[in-house]
């Protein structure tokens, strides 16, 4: 059983492709109201932004990028995140958030909101995916593993090959950087920044620590 977060937090999950249901269930289990984001009206209403936090799920990053542009959702989503909407990207979501993708598919772009460079599919095929525990260096993140490590699955995961001055690494394993968060007012006390990307899937391992921290950032906006 996961503990709840402050009431009235509304979290969106980008629902164009990938592991949408797993993130939605985890957020609902934390007590958030969940909205599936498929069009601009799911994101922005007559009174402004409809969400307090957002998750970009794993899946196929080039497919998600293409659908975002096809549905005219890319620019509204970019503007919302750039304006301070707390966002977590897992696996493909990390790729979408990154400033640079070393090996993009033809025509693939990214939001450029997290100051990191990534390499797609750095950890091989889906058949060699693995579950592990990851130490997350961010206040307020304590997972289900030993010493509070966060459990997650690596599935054709991207690697962060460099971190720029606008971000800091928060997850390292065996010499690889597998998570980073933005350096901004939200992270000034050592917690998660407004934009966070990780290579692994805690939602597949039932570990809600990072999602809880995301919702807590959203609750303080």
Residue numbers annotated as active site: 91, 201, 203
Residues forming a β-bridge with 196 = 88, 181
Strands of 58-142, DSSP E:
87-90, 98-101, 114-119, 130-134
Give helix 61-70 / helix 74-82 axis angle, nearest 10°.
100
User: Helix-strand-coil percent breakdown of the chain, rounded to 5?
Assistant: 30, 30, 40
Instruction: Determine contact, residues 140/191, Cβ cutoff 8 Å.
Output: yes
Q: How many CB atoms lie within 10 A of CB 38?
A: 17
The end-to-end CA distance of the chain, in Å, is 26
Q: Checking phi first, is residue 95 left (phi over 0); if not, alpha (psi -120 to 50) or beta?
A: alpha
Exposed/middle/buried for 47, CB within 10 Å: 0-12, 13-18, 19+? exposed
Strands of 57-129, DSSP E:
87-90, 98-101, 114-119
């Amino acid at each position: 059983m996961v503990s709840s977060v402050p009431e009235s937090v509304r979290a969106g999950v980008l629902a164009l492709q990938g592991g949408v249901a797993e993130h939605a269930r985890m957020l609902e289990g934390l007590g958030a109201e969940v909205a599936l984001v498929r069009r601009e009206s799911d994101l922005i209403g007559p009174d402004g932004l409809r969400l307090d936090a957002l998750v970009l799920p794993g899946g196929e990053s080039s497919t998600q990028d293409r659908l975002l542009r096809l549905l005219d959702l890319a620019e509204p989503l970019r503007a919302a995140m750039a304006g301070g909407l707390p966002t977590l990207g897992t696996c493909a979501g990390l790729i979408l958030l990154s400033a640079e993708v070393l090996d993009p598919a033809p025509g693939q772009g990214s939001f450029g909101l997290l100051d990191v460079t990534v390499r797609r599919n750095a950890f091989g095929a889906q058949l060699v995916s693995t579950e592990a525990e990851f130490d997350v260096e961010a206040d307020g993140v304590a997972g289900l593993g030993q010493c509070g490590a966060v459990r997650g699955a690596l599935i054709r995961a991207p690697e962060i090959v460099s971190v720029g001055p606008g971000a800091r690494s928060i997850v390292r394993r065996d010499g690889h950087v597998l998570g980073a968060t933005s350096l901004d007012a939200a992270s000034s006390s050592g917690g998660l920044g407004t934009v966070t990307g990780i290579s692994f899937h805690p939602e597949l391992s039932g570990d809600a620590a990072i999602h809880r921290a995301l919702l807590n950032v959203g609750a303080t906006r």
